[in-house]
Amino acid sequence: MTDLATLPPRPGTAGRLRRLLAVPDGAYRGALGAVAALFGILLVVFVVSMVMQARPTFAHFGLSFLTSTKWDPVHVHYGVLVFLVGTLETTAIAMVIAVPIGLGCALALAFGIPQRLRVTLGTAVELLAAVPSVVYGLWGLLVVAPWVRTIIEPALAKITGGHGPFGGSQLGVGLLLAGVILAIMVLPTMVAISRDVLMAVPEVEIEGAFALGATRWQVMRRVVVPSARSGILGATTLATGRALGETIAVTMVIGNTDHLAHSLFGTTQTMASLIANEFTEATEPFHLSSLIAVGVLLLVVAVVVNLAARLLVRSVGRQRAIGIGVL
């Protein structure tokens, strides 16, 4: 009955260190518990410190902070509605593009191409999810914006007659470009998670459908997709969360103006880009606390969206590593 830890230590520092690290089980469990507790404390401090600093704004402006469209540091009036709408608009454009294309791409990656290509292209997509957002922003501003200004926006205006959402001056930067860049950025996430979810569908269900004479497409549409539905919804929600909070790329391509976009081609701001643009210039106390209040709003949205997404994804793949490459 010799405990390994009670053996006489070898001489020298290595022995002493080993002796020191061979702590009793209670202390070991306690230390791990302390780490977990520290993590909890970190999160509590996170939320509390932000709410504390945002309090002046919530106390002073109340609900009008959410409903006012006027953001005017000179006259000390702060309303976030313009940026809330801007965030929702860019995210909506991004998801309208990214969800169908991403789902199609995930289906192709999971079932539509030869086995060897699957691994290569799948890994490529996962690696592209690691490209930093500032690089997407640089590319969007310097390469894609001129294309949008000279080709895409004139073409759209010509086809639709140039009214309503397709009217107004064509600048390149603006709502449309921000949405498109966001779509490109969230696609790898969307694709990688959807693919993992699709591949988690039990093999027997797929084989059963084939045995009944279903074509490949029928198997995908009637068996695989319905079976993976909640996971796909989770992937979509997760990508939505990314799009809502994306900062630097959007800041570079949206044009940064403090009013609602008059059309798809118009410039505006999102909550995240507002913070990025004005935080270091905020000298007036209400300005800073209002920007932090915008951050609190963004935090609340992100937590709600992510809680929903994780619960959906988790309900699919308890045992499997879903989206481990991009999360």
Q: Restricting to residues 22-41, which ones interact with another protein according to CB under 8 A?
A: 22-25, 27-29, 31-33, 35-36, 38-40
Query: Do β-strands 77-78 and 71-72 pair in parallel, antiparallel, or remain unpaired?
Result: antiparallel
* Contact status: 177 vs another protein (CB under 8 A): no
Q: How far is the CB of 157 from another protein (least distance, A)?
A: 22
Residue 78: phi and psi, rounded to 5, are: -125, 120
Segment near another protein (CB under 8 A), from 119-127, 148-156, 202-210, 223-231? 119-127
Window 243 to 262, contacts with another protein (CB under 8 A): 244-248, 252
* Contact status: 153 vs another protein (CB under 8 A): no
SS (H, E, C) 153-192: HHHHHHHHCCCHHHCCCCCCCCHHHHHHHHHHHHHHHHHH
Q: How far is the CB of 217 from another protein (least distance, A)?
A: 4
* Contact status: 307 vs another protein (CB under 8 A): yes
Instruction: Find the binder of another protein among 80, 90, 94, 137 (CB under 8 A).
Output: 137
Total residues at interface with another protein (CB under 8 A): 99
- Six-digit token string for 3: 């405990």
The nearer residue to another protein, 103 or 263, going by C-beta atoms, is 103
* Contact status: 150 vs another protein (CB under 8 A): no
* Contact status: 276 vs another protein (CB under 8 A): yes
* Contact status: 17 vs another protein (CB under 8 A): no
* Contact status: 310 vs another protein (CB under 8 A): yes
SS (H, E, C) 231-286: HHHHHHHHHHHHHHHCCHHHHHHCECCCCCCCCCCCCECCHHHHHHHHHHHCCCHH
The nearer residue to another protein, 76 or 324, going by C-beta atoms, is 324
**Nearest of 113, 177, 84, 105 to residue 139 by alpha carbon:** 177
Beta strands in the chain (DSSP E): 71-72, 77-78
Say if CB 205 and CB 222 are below 8 A apart.
Answer: no
* Contact status: 211 vs another protein (CB under 8 A): no
* Contact status: 135 vs another protein (CB under 8 A): yes
Say if CB 256 and CB 173 are below 8 A apart.
Answer: no
182-201 footprint of another protein as x/- string (CB under 8 A): --x--xx--x----------
